[in-house]
Homo-oligomer: A and B are copies of this chain.
Amino acid sequence: MKLTKQNLSERAANDYDVIVVGGGAGGLSVGIYLQRYLLSSLIIDKGKARSFWMQELHNYLGLPPDTPGRSLLRQGKEHYLSLGGDILDGFVEDIVDEGETFAIRVKIGRHDSIYQTFRSKYLVAASGIIDYLPELDNMRNVYDYAGYNLHVCLICDGYEMADKKVGVFANSLSNAEVVFPLGWFTPYITLFTQGLFEVADELRQKLQENGYQLVETPIKQFLGEDHQMSGVELEDGRVIGLDAGLISMGSKYHANYLEKFNLEKQGGNLITDQMARTSHPRIFAIGDLKVGLNQVVVAAADGALAATQIWRDLRRALGAKRPVQK
């Protein structure tokens, strides 16, 4: 059921088999599988998964290609609740490993917050990432277009940019490298650095060889209407027309609560085994937090794997039969 400040007391004493941090595609999928293995689970969701921002999920098998990300999330949440799963809007502040269980301290409510500790045998980290966006004086102007034709994922939306005039907005030399795989989809590319980093001679030359433009002047604002970005106005007053944009400024990982566990990582991503288990035997990581492709369908599959492995673990530990109190 959906937990709230009001009904919290009904569940607060409960130990769960599994607590899932994050209610995006991965978190909902693992929750659905866990409930179907007759395990008890709680999803703690601070809201606004990366897929929530996707206006159209173009590549998810089984859904029409104009399905908004939030529709998938809504359906998944309903599905999970129908299986008896618990879900709570909250923010995980701290986790203590007590050996057999984790004690998970959650902040509930942005205003007049209350704090509640929940316990579980297993933890699934499904809290994902969120993309850094260009910083303008008027951030509303960025949000107007992000997720429409101002994209953040080449793999998801390269197809939408095919043969279009695309602006790439990068904040570092390594993030600027995305212009080259983007070149598979379109030859009409302008790289905007906003003066945020020094363009190395090698990159400058490679851009030139490929016929790509380079603009180092900061951006004043995006232009367009009805969520369709049509170009940028620079600080010096120049206007550059564009059909689409690709933001490549890195991502923030929502995983502060895991820091104390010193889990094995590769770059910023958690290393997991074939069943999504991290280097801690009772912590699983699924979706964008882990090494691999940041795709909704991959996160959903990770959820199936993690839930299945946790079920196998518990089945072995408890001797195949479900404990009677279930």
Chain A residues with CB under 8 Å of chain B are 25, 28-29, 32-33, 35-38, 58-65, 67, 71-72, 75-76, 79, 82-83, 155, 158-159, 162, 180-181, 183-185, 187, 210, 274, 292-293, 295, 297-298, 300-305, 308, 311, 315, 320-322
Q: A180 to B322: give the CA distance in the assembly, Å.
A: 11
11 new A-B contacts at CB < 8 Å, known A29-B61, A60-B62: A29-B297, A61-B76, A61-B79, A62-B67, A62-B71, A62-B72, A63-B63, A181-B315, A183-B321, A298-B304, A301-B301
CA distance A280 to B323 in the complex (A): 46
Contact with A304, one of B28, B59, B62 (Cβ below 8 angstroms) = B59
Instruction: Select which of B33, B82, B210, B305 is within 8 A of A59 by beta carbon.
Output: B33
Write 29 A-B pairs (CB below 8 A) sorted by A numbering. A25-B61, A29-B297, A32-B59, A33-B59, A35-B159, A36-B159, A37-B184, A38-B159, A38-B185, A61-B76, A61-B79, A61-B303, A62-B62, A62-B67, A62-B71, A62-B72, A64-B79, A65-B82, A83-B159, A181-B315, A183-B320, A184-B320, A210-B321, A293-B305, A293-B308, A295-B304, A297-B297, A298-B304, A301-B302
Q: How far is the CA of A303 from the CA of B62 in the complex (A)?
A: 13
Question: Would A62 and B75 count as touching, CB distance under 8 A?
Answer: yes
Please give the distance in Å from A109's CB to the nearest CB on chain B: 28
A121 CB → nearest B CB, Å: 15
For residue A303, which residues in chain B have a CB less than 8 angstroms away from its CB?
61, 297
When distances are taken between beta carbons in the complex, the residues of chain B under 8 Å from A25 are 61
A241 to chain B, nearest CB (A): 23
**CA distance in complex: A79, B158 (Å):** 17
Looking at the assembled complex, report how far the CB atom of A7 sits from the nearest CB atom of chain B, in whole angstroms: 25
Q: How far is the CA of A83 from the CA of B159 in the complex (A)?
A: 10
Complex contacts, A301 vs chain B, CB 8 Å = 295, 297-298, 300-302
Q: How far is the CA of A60 from the CA of B65 in the complex (A)?
A: 17
Asked whether B59 lies within 8 Å of A184 as measured between CB atoms, the reply is no
